[in-house]
A and B are shown apart, each in its own frame.
Chain A
């Protein structure tokens, strides 16, 4: 079982990787909030935001190509939104027709810049911390218990079910190679149904086993998180740099 799409590069060693997950969650969320609340159409400050993000990227040692690939994944949706704003958006204020296209173009650009900055920040967050520690960080930051427990379950079983899907996909492809036809919709549907049925049956076995070990609806934290002075320094400096760009740029 090896699925590198989950928290790839989170085992690298860098000053960012070594920080407490709670410091990273709060710092990246603060940066995200500062960037997305930037007034629409304002693009000058993004030069500084991207410089800061690039600095974090270099320090974290996460490959640039990997981050660019992540941006590529979301680019159709972002470009669709930017395109919509360009073609039919309504900029704030009553610009004359001659400047309307220009105003829309600035809005489109600022939307795309915000969205890609947010994607890079999220990619950096999940590439510099293992998912289970991020979830533990979120739980210790008072994420609702139901979300915490459901997340813990999903994280554990998404690997097993991914294996299940790979097996059923291999079986499907070996039996029905070639182009998609109407009859193959049934094949895809049956594959999804098989995954659900196996999950259903396994959930009962797992629940019985957990009850026998004393499960009462919540998990204790797996490892104690340790928030130290360097984490506080990282959090404060990271957030302050983004605040400074917002205020002074």
Chain B
């Protein structure tokens, strides 16, 4: 799901970079000195957790955890995801450098959607946790498909987004498991993003 450079039209990438820098300013301006180590650690944890691969149907997928980032960090998830993507681009070439803004919008939107779902207080927590993980991946996949269509790839990219719904379901179950673990072992971790 990490869009490499040269895949999407450069104008779209540069516009997305400008938008994501604006979002970075908007979401990051209330960041206090005390938040920075926590955001840095959680960013590193997201980065490392995304290295966990698990086997499915003869292949392996890795965690994205965008919904979980939204739950844990709230609006601070966007800057953290941006930096994590910058790292993935520089270190693993997962995603391009010019398209880092585009990837940040896709995955940051997934995190924000996960955060909004998590904040919907009346729904049982287990459903919110699953939905946050599920939407976090699925929204990112559909935004990516839209960007492919804008660039002239046709509607075929939406078929791939549908395939991502399987990964989204797996991510939903894992997010639910992680939230249950937090609730048992360290419930205060869930208060930070609110």
Contact = CB atoms under 8 A, between A and B. Distances in A.
Contact of A217 (B2, B33, B84): B33
A190 B181 contact: yes
Interface in A176-218: 179-180, 184-186, 188-197, 199-200, 202-204, 206-207, 210, 215-217
B120 interface: no
B127 interface: no
Interface string A126-168: 1000010010000000001011011111111110111011000
A32 interface: yes
A154 B87 contact: yes
Interface residues of A, number: 82
B45 A161 contact: yes
Interface residues of B, number: 74
A248 to B, nearest CB: 21
Contacts, number: 236
Interface of B: 2-7, 10, 13, 21, 24-25, 28, 31-34, 36-45, 47-49, 51-52, 54-56, 63, 65, 72, 79-80, 82-84, 86-87, 89-94, 96-98, 148, 152-157, 160, 170, 173-178, 180-182, 185-186, 189
Interface of A: 5-7, 29, 32-33, 35-37, 70, 73-74, 77-78, 80-81, 84-85, 87-92, 111, 113-115, 117-119, 122-123, 125-126, 131, 134, 144, 146-147, 149-158, 160-162, 164-165, 169, 179-180, 184-186, 188-197, 199-200, 202-204, 206-207, 210, 215-217
